Structure 1
Amino acid sequence: MRRRIPWILSMVVLFAAVLSACGNKNADSVVKDLNKVAGKLDSYQGSGKMILHTGQQPLEYKVEVWYQKPQYYRIALTNEQRDITQIVLRNDDGVFVLTPRLNKSYRFQSDWPENQGQVYLYQTLLQSIAMDNSRQFTTEKDAYVFNVMAGNYQNGSFARQKIWLAKSDYTPRQVQVTDSNSNLMVEVKFDSFKFGAKFDKSAFDMQSNMGNAPGAGSSSASGNGASNQGNSDSSSGNVEGITEGSNSGSANGSTDGAQTNGTQPDGTTSGQTDPTSGGTTDNGGATPVQGSDDEFNYVEPDPDSLPEGVELKDTRDLQLAETQGVMLRYSGKYDFTIVESKPKDQAVSSNAGIMLDLGATWGLLSGDETSTLTWTYDGIEYRLTTNNLPREDMARIAQSLAAQVAVK
């Protein structure tokens, strides 16, 4: 009898080990399951927080992600501390970047997000896992963890990413993106994520999103994402500024001749305010731009965001149509200008361009020999114009400006 007890115990241990092994999945089996999930994906709704580590201090944003098959997206990024919300929307009329606070939107004819990944989009995460044949895989108590390349993002500084997926249903739990030196760049922590979400018909409508946020999770039939915005330009990559809240001053040309509408070749503007009369002065500090409703504090890029060999040349007040602004001129290895202004209502304008992910917002890049990156944040419109500054540096400077506004 005593001899049988160890034998029985051995069989119990072996049986438990077999059951445990059957319950564990390897990377290949999880990837196969993820492919099945992707094939059946009709809609989802997620929320959480995104933390950017690209500046001097982390910046936190609330992120909401809505998706409905086949191509309807709504992403809202909110700086809760400053009550700033910007939305990127895709529906049958194109891709929109919305700033409800300014009643301002830009429209693209684009295949976004297929042409550029977003760290908070489930499809991007699945694609990252599937594309990396050298993926690293581990398990935690309630999650599968993939460590894969971050090659499908617009930001060239992103090198790798860790993705946590719930074991129970493969919903995303957390994402961490690092650079080539393993420095944390961006992290997203989901507090909720639901497959099969139902949306109101107005959920992906541009006009509805410019007003009160449309409802999600209602019992009404899912919307078709269509909206009546009028005829859009059919050319690929076209962006239209529906600018009920924009000034007409656009920065054009190179920096030493950087111009806004009404700007002279030496960089001064017709009707420019006298630097001694209360505005900013050449080489002046970050003092308010004066002018009744136009007053605001302009910001300068963080010095660490500037390319080596580039310095601030001067700072000038500008008169831009019905509003005032300030122009910062930088020179050295690269030449560029930054025009900051508080937009007002004006007629619709349009120009060709592409959308750039700036982390906390999205920018509009237009031009060929001379490029202009335009974005809005906290009620201020920014235009960075150059004929030789690389795109990655343009994005880095824009991110720096947005970060400084976010923490003020």
Structure 2
Amino acid sequence: MRRRISLLAAVLMCLTALLAACGSGTKDAESVVKDLDKVVSSMESYHGKGTMTLNTGQQPLQYDVDVTYQKPNYYRIELTNAKKDITQIVLRNDEGVFVLTPRLNKVFRFQSDWPQNQGQVYLYQTLVQSILIDNSRQFAIDKETYEKDSYVFDVMANYQNGSLARQKIWLDQDNYIPLKVQVSDTNQTVMVTVEFKEFAFDAKPDKSVFDTQRNLSGAANKPSTTEPADEGAADAQEQTDPAATENGSTNGEQQQGADNAGNAATGTDAEGSTEQPDAQAGEEPAEDTMAPADDSNAGVDLLSDALEPLYLPEGVAFEKTIDIEFGGLPGVIDRYSSEDYDFTILKTQPADVAASTIKGTMVPLGFTIAELTGGEESEQRTLTWTYNGIQYRLTSGTLPEAEMFKVAQSVQGEMTK
């Protein structure tokens, strides 16, 4: 009997050792975190493609995401809504940080150290950093979602939109490439999902991929993953984007005209308004920048496609619409108010070509990049973004930033006032 027990114990020990050997490829959270720190530190480049789904409106919206990074600080992010043929590109190169809308031939240049100061859900550095700094991180191994086991981290989300509280990050067990990201709000509702279809380290992108003018003209819309064939591509990177320095006065007039129009709707004067970016200091708005709209149909068809917010803070209701014209372009201002909040949304057709240096803060809305100005010396803040050929300017002196972001993110579908 004792011999049988001894034999059984020996068999169990062998099975235990065998199972341990089979699972030797699985690491614990501490080991994975150390590896991730090394990966980011030694990383030279990467290129990834995937889809991003936003659940901030009444219906989920899906965007194609194409991300390219080259050490030390070159970035290219392309966001495309295939259904509406809308593409925006975010670039960081030697000249600065740019947001491009090729379809409108429009360029914004930001004075920013992005993305170091702002997280992005589709950037590998942002995801890894959120794992490294969260000492209360939760770790699990997912054996069901993908063909191979994947590591899953549940960590705090560190985005400018304060309503996004936590995120889950799926990583390939073998090489730590990102597989999926889910970002949830404080109610544990998934608001943003990014699923990577392709991702590769050491992508070796051509430098022309990060060239502003080539991206604006569409020449670099599909990033190359080969080494430059000659010095021409490198030279292209060193060229200053002419679109970023020309036509500044035109844009300055439009920006200031928009400010005046917003002040008219909110009841604030020019002295109380937030200082807005312009291309050249001292630019004066054209005399017709605040003129009431005439009976011309110019731009009417485009503005008829303008969207309304699907989210409003509690108690806020639509009040009225004002037809205006500034910079020779038609526009409308929608006013919303309650006992606590009052804000306006100005919608207009941007000029065919416009370039300006933005002094505000870049704010990712998910489906586009916005610019936030004001809030320091003035109580009034303005959030500006372009979507589907319409420029939107949300201005308020009472609406908190988090609420501004939620309202802006909800301008994705049609709603009848």
Q: Give TM class, smaller chain.
A: 0.7 to 0.9
- 1:102-141 matched pairs, under 5 angstroms: 102-141=104-143
Counterparts of 1:138 and 1:73, CA distance in 2: 31
Measure the CA separation in 1 of the matches of 2:349 and 2:125. Answer: 36
8 A contact 1:42–1:69 mirrored in 2: yes
- Relative to structure 1, the CA distance from residue 223 to residue 70 in structure 2 (aligned partners, 3 Å threshold; closer, same or farther) is farther
Equivalences for residues 242-261 of structure 1 within 5 A: 247=254, 249-252=257-260, 253=263, 255-257=265-267
Decide which of 353, 370, 376 is 2:386's aligned counterpart: 376
Deviation digits for residues 189-246 of structure 1 (CA, Å, limit 9, x no counterpart): 000000000112211011011012423212426959544137999xxxxxx9797899
- Residues 29 and 53 of structure 1: CA distance in aligned 2, closer, same or farther (over 3 Å): same
1:200 aligns with 2:206: yes
Structure 1: state its 5+ residue gaps.
Answer: 234-239, 279-289
Structure 1 residue 365 displacement after superposition: 1.6
Corresponding residue of 2:277: none
Matches within 5 A, 1:90-239: 90-141=92-143, 142-150=149-157, 152-214=158-220, 215-220=223-228, 226-229=238-241
Separation in structure 1 between the aligned mates of residue 8 and residue 248 of structure 2, nearest angstrom? 79
CA RMSD, Structure 1 to Structure 2 (Å): 3.1
Task: Mark the CA change 1:348 to 1:24 in structure 2 (over 3 Å): closer, same or farther.
Answer: closer
Could you say which residue in structure 2 is the equivalent of 1:389? Answer: 399
Q: Distance in 2 between matches of 1:308 and 1:250?
A: 27
Provide the residue aligned with 1:311 in structure 2. Answer: 317
Partner of 1:283: none
- The counterpart of 1:10, out of the listed 9, 12, 15, is 12
Q: Taking structure 1 as reference, are residues 143 and 349 closer, same or farther at Cα in structure 2, changes over 3 Å only?
A: closer
Matching residue's letter, 1:217: T
The aligned residue for residue 278 of structure 2 is none
**Cα distance change on mapping 1:301 and 1:195 into 2, 3 Å:** same
Q: 1:319 to 1:232 in 2, by over 3 A?
A: closer
8-17 or 176-185, which moves further after superposition? Answer: 8-17
Distance 1:244 1:192, change over 3 A: farther
TM-score of the aligned structures, taking structure 1 as reference length = 0.83
- How far the C-alpha of 1:174 sits from its partner, in A, is 0.4
Maintained 8 Å contact 1:162/1:176: yes
Cα distance in 1 for residues equivalent to 2:343 and 2:387? 20
Structure 1 residue 296: Cα displacement: 2.9
Which residue identity does 2:186 align to in structure 1?
S
Shift of 1:391: 1.6
Distance 1:143 1:317 in 2: 54
Q: Which residue of 2 aligns with 1:26?
A: 28
Structure 1 residues 339 and 231, CA, compared in 2 at 3 Å: closer, same or farther?
closer
What SS class does the counterpart of residue 107 from structure 1 fall into?
strand
Q: Is the Cα–Cα contact under 8 Å of residues 46 and 64 in structure 1 kept in the other structure?
A: yes
> CA contact under 8 A between 1:104 and 1:246: conserved in structure 2?
no
Shift of 1:308: 2.4
Q: Matched residue of 1:359: which SS?
A: coil
Alpha-carbon shift at residue 311 of structure 1 (Å): 2.3
Using structure 2 for the length normalisation, give the TM-score.
0.82
Measured against aligned partners, the alpha-carbon deviations of 1:100-148 in whole angstroms (never above 9, x if no partner) come to 0000011012111111111111001110111111111111232111111
Higher helix share: 2
* One-letter identity of the residue aligned with 1:74: R
Separation of aligned partners in 2, 1:347 and 1:133: 45
CA distance in structure 1 between the partners assigned to 2:8 and 2:364 by the alignment:
64
Q: Indicate the larger mover: 33-42 or 338-347.
A: 338-347
Q: Structure 1 37/246 Cα, relative in aligned 2: closer, same or farther at 3 Å?
A: farther
Change (3 A) 1:158 1:87: same
Aligned with 2:258: secondary structure? coil
Structure 1 residues 32 and 75 mapped into 2: Cα distance closer, same or farther (>3 Å)? same
Equivalent residues of 1:76, 1:87 under 8 A apart:
yes
Letter paired with 1:251: D
Q: CA deviation at 1:302?
A: 3.3
Q: CA distance change for structure 1 residues 250 and 124 in 2, over 3 Å: closer, same or farther?
A: same
Question: Residues 205 and 262 of structure 1: is their aligned pair in 2 closer, same or farther, counting only changes over 3 Å?
Answer: closer
Counterpart code for 2:207: K
Q: In structure 2, what is the Cα distance between the partners aligned to 1:109 and 1:210? A: 19
- Which of 291, 294, 302 is 1:270 aligned to? 291
Note if 1:336 corresponds to 2:343: yes
Alignment pair present for 1:321 and 2:327? yes
Helix, strand or coil at the partner of 1:356: strand
Q: Which amino acid aligns with 1:176?
A: Q
| Percentage of pairs with the same residue | 49
Alpha carbons of structure 1 residues 231 and 110: separation in structure 2 relative to 1, 3 Å = farther
Q: Contact 1:51/1:59 (CA < 8 Å) preserved in 2?
A: yes
**With CA pairs under 8 Å and 6+ residues apart, which has the higher RCO, 1 or 2?**
2
Q: Distance in 1 between the 2:358 and 2:173 partners?
A: 47
Secondary structure in 2 aligned to 1:115?
coil
